[in-house]
Every structure is written in structure tokens, then in C-alpha cells.
Amino acid sequence: MSIDEGIPEGLTRRAQYFIGCHGYWTGRGDVEQSRALWRGHGTPEEQIDRVAAFEAVWGGLALPPSPHYDGGPRAFRGGVPQVLAPNWFFEAGAQRTALPYAFVVGPSGEFGLEAGKWVPLHASVEGWVEALALADHARRCARTTTTLTGAAVDELELDGFEVVPEVAGLADTWWRGTDSLIAVYRGEAEVMESPRCQTATIYAGLDTWGLRGLDDIGTPSK
């Protein structure tokens, strides 16, 4: 399968371009081969269906590393559904490095972290991908980049900034100002209960293109 044929719909053109230029497919898994085994261990059918649906769209897609979380999943791969009462999750892909948490898809399709507790980073897998694409875009366009950590993140002044909607931010959010973009990463701090782990990156000196780029929602050209 070519990368153009596999790009999911409903993403911004920025994210489509990011996947097309920097992503590659490692091959989708066959959830049906595991369905009977998982069912036999008590996994509800609808949870297996969720993994199958994820694998059909995202399975095997490898993207450049995230600036945080030690890069995020090595490649998207739906794992065995697990329950952290009352919610069901499944792994979204193996870590690139040894981490104290897993990357998972939550009960309503959220993308987040799990380490005995559940912290959703984005409201969807698409949101995680959009954030990766935006970070790549902002890094290339910014004149200056500043990183804040710990308590300094809580002191950020965001009046006059607007939320960047396509990243569907929950624990992690993006903000757009008149000449800068700010990415706030709180997921690791929340899942590890360590406020010093929160981070913010300020991409400054952006023109109109740098602030938005290809940020309209569209479908990939055939």
C-alpha cells in the first residue's frame, strides 16, 4: 500500500502532508486471527471490534517521534484489550524506549497514557497525529523556541491565545497567538503524579503561514 492510499480522512492537509512525507506503513495486523483467543479469555466482542477498527485505519503506521514521551509509539499497533475498571483500553503501539507507562486508546477513542491510572492526552488518535504534525511545522517555521518546565508552565499567560482545535487537546493542548504557538504537555506529569514533569514549548516569531500552514480539514487527493 502506498502512503497516499493509506492516509486517513478527516485530517487537516497539514497532517496529511506530514504522514505522506514522513510516515510509512510497517504492515497491518490481523485482529481476526486473535479474536477467538481474546473472546475465550473473556474480552467482550465490542472491545475486539474497537481494536479491529483501529488497526484498519492506523495499524502499522510509523511516524517521526514526538518531542515528548520519548517519541511516542514506535508504530501504531492495536493490542489486547485490557480493563481498568470501569473502562476498557487497548495498547496503541509499543514504546520506543523503556517508559513507566503505555500508550493506549481509551474507552471513547481517546489517545493517552496508562500506568495504573488513565490520562487521556487527546480526544482522538487523530488529535495525537495532528499534534505531531503541528510540532513539526512549528519547529520548522519558528524564529525562536523556548521550553518551560515544572512550575513555570503554570505561570504561562494565555490571555489572547486561542485553542488549536484540531489537536483535540485534553491533558496536552496547543494555543495560537498573534505570532506564536504554544504546546503544553501535562500528560506525563499527571500519569506519574509529578508536576515537575509538565512541559511547555513556545514557538515564536511566526508569520501567518507559520501560525497555520495547511490547517484546513480535507480529504486526501486520489
Q: What is the pLDDT of residue 7?
A: 87
Residue with cell 473502562: 87
Distances (CA, A) of 130 to 99, 117, 133: 23, 25, 5
* 3-state SS class at 136: helix
Q: What is the pLDDT of residue 84?
A: 87
Q: What is the pLDDT of residue 21?
A: 94
What is the 3-state composition of the chain as percent helix, strand, coil, each rounded to the nearest 5?
35, 25, 40
Q: What is the pLDDT of residue 5?
A: 54
Q: Which three cell numbers stand for residue 143?
A: 524564529
Q: What is the pLDDT of residue 34?
A: 93
Q: 176 has which bridge partners?
A: 162, 181
Q: What is the pLDDT of residue 218?
A: 58
Q: What is the pLDDT of residue 78?
A: 96
- The CA radius of gyration of the chain, in Å to the nearest whole number, is 18
How do the pLDDT tens digits run along the chain, 222 residues long? Answer: 334 557 888 999 999 999 999 999 999 999 999 999 999 999 999 999 999 999 999 999 999 999 999 999 999 999 999 998 889 999 999 999 999 999 999 999 999 999 999 999 999 999 999 999 999 999 999 999 999 999 999 999 999 999 999 999 999 999 999 999 999 999 999 999 999 999 999 999 999 999 999 998 754 433
The number of angstroms, rounded, from the C-alpha of 131 to the middle of its chain's C-alpha atoms is 6
* Domain assignments of the chain as residue spans, ordered by start: 3-127, 141-212
**Inter-helix orientation angle 125-141/13-22, to 10°:** 80
Q: Which residues lie closer than 8 Å to 98 by C-beta, 6 or more apart?
A: none
Cα atoms in the 13 Å half-sphere on the side-chain side of 155: 6
- In terms of Cβ atoms closer than 10 Å to its own Cβ (0-12, 13-18, 19+), residue 185 is buried
The number of angstroms, rounded, from the C-alpha of 129 to the middle of its chain's C-alpha atoms is 5
pTM of the model: 0.94
Q: What is the pLDDT of residue 3?
A: 42
